[in-house]
Structure 1
Amino acid sequence: MNRLTALRTMLWAALMAASSAAVGAPPGGVPGIAPGSPAPEIAGPMLRGEPLRLSGLRGKVVLVDFWASYCGPCILAMPEINRIRTDLHAQGHAQHFEVVGVAMDRESDKAEQFLGRVSVDYPIIIDTLGLAAHSYGVWRLPATYLIDAEGTIQRIWYGFGDTFAADIRHYAEAFLAARDGPDAP
């Protein structure tokens, strides 16, 4: 790792530590993340897309997906998530829905190689130190969180199964409809 990369990683580590403290993480513990909890901040070096912070997406329904190159179910989940994003954007929700991937690989080159095999169109943050994963209490991959336009976690999925994509699509569409109100097309 070159000096610039090491410096950036340390800077993001400090920012993420401050974010964890801001959401009430107990000392040495993991905050209780459940539907209804405020979504902890996510930010870090980018593998794909322009730099972003989760808080900068307030007003949008956001799907946050934690994954790793060594995760077999992630290989199945990511194309489904990408398809949902593509479909919702094509239906006119590009300004109101986003997906943020969080790569949990310790080495960014492994995540890059993975993305060469499993292509996605959404932004990817690299969480080499595991700070975002810790603040979300990730214990299984993939770990996927649906966050409403106010920044509240509404649904959580751990792993990948037969109803994964249909469930995500259903709830994303429901929260987009709630965000847009009853008079929206």
Structure 2
Amino acid sequence: MEEQKNRTRCPWCLGFPQYKEYHDKEWGVPVYDDKTHFEFLILESAQAGLSWATILKKREGYRKAFADFDYQIVAEFPDSYVEELLQDPGIIRNKLKIKAAINNAQRFMEIQKEFGSFSEYIWSFVGGKPIQNQLKSMKEAPATSPESDRLAKDLKKRGFKFLGSTTIYAHMQATGLVNDHLVDCFRYKEVLELNESEEN
């Protein structure tokens, strides 16, 4: 326990325990599961203009409101349920964002039909393996990348909403398409080794 306390972490996660846990266990770990990708797309599109900390605190509210992130169910949400969600304090009550989540679930399944899985589609933008950055400070962390620009542009063309390049870069960081842990963070090496073991 003491060792965990003294570990060096990326400074952005030091606000509250839930944030630390998310950083230590999830952020930057490669995701190949479509349901998890969909979960992060919903949470990240909801984040637009807000902090990730705000969304993280409402994650369980989103899980309940959005059918445990089952995109097949979300794609069929009727307008009457949208009105219900606008009264739900467990999520961000923004009609455009809620409608975008339903729209994105429908577009998500179109990608699955075309590529076999959403994971297959999204990983193709980084050549199938994680980009390993070597950031020494938060100042060096980019908000977007050529890959996130291309991906966001393609998603927009396919009809996705609330997923610009900055949001998509955050998705790539969260789901391990890019390793943006600072080099002195204890997770940098762990994620790097995880990626190397998956390649072998």
Structure showing greater Rg: 2
TM-score bracket for this pair, using the shorter chain length:
under 0.3
| More helix per residue | 2
Q: Structure 1-normalised TM-score?
A: 0.27
